[in-house]
């Protein structure tokens, strides 16, 4: 069974994508959109300051069971996004999804199928997936 939201989104991208029809254009726009999303997160730290990144080596004991390990690891993010930074990051992530859909369209791949396959792998392997 297909998810209508995924299909509708992919169809909408296909209808409005005019300038960047070449797979080379779409690949570079997809990469650029990821870079812009990364940059928006960095600006939330360096320009706005609503979040901080305090990174250090992840220390944990080999005695910790694998299913409890996630409780001992840190995200290194302190604080929370302000409304403005959240809006900018959401916009950039949306652009990234747009170009992901465009790439899927050019390669005749369903985003929904990709998501379902990834979900099934997560469900099957659980924390042994180790991504």
- pTM here is 0.85
CATH number at residue 28: 1.10.287
Mean pLDDT of the 51-66 span:
86
Range of the domain at 125: 4-129
Q: Is the pLDDT of residue 49 over 70?
A: yes
Q: Is 78 in contact with 54 (CB distance < 8 Å)?
A: yes
For residues 89 and 104, give the distance between their C-alpha atoms in angstroms, rounded to a whole number. 22
**Number of domain units in the chain:** 1
Percent over 90 (pLDDT), the chain: 64
Residue 69 confidence (pLDDT) above 80? no
Tell me what pLDDT residue 131 has. 59
């Amino acid at each position: 069974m297909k998810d209508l939201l995924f299909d509708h989104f992919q169809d909408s991208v296909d209808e409005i994508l005019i300038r960047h029809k070449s797979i080379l254009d779409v690949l570079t726009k997809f990469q650029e959109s990821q870079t812009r999303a990364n940059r928006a997160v960095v600006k939330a730290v360096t320009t706005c300051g609503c979040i901080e990144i305090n990174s250090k080596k992840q220390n944990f004991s080999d005695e910790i069971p694998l299913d409890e390990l996630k409780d001992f690891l840190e995200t290194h993010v302190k604080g929370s996004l302000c409304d403005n930074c959240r809006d900018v990051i959401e916009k950039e992530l949306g652009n990234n999804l747009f170009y992901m859909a465009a790439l899927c369209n050019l390669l005749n791949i369903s985003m929904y199928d990709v998501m379902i396959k990834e979900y099934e792998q997560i469900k099957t392997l659980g924390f042994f997936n180790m991504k």
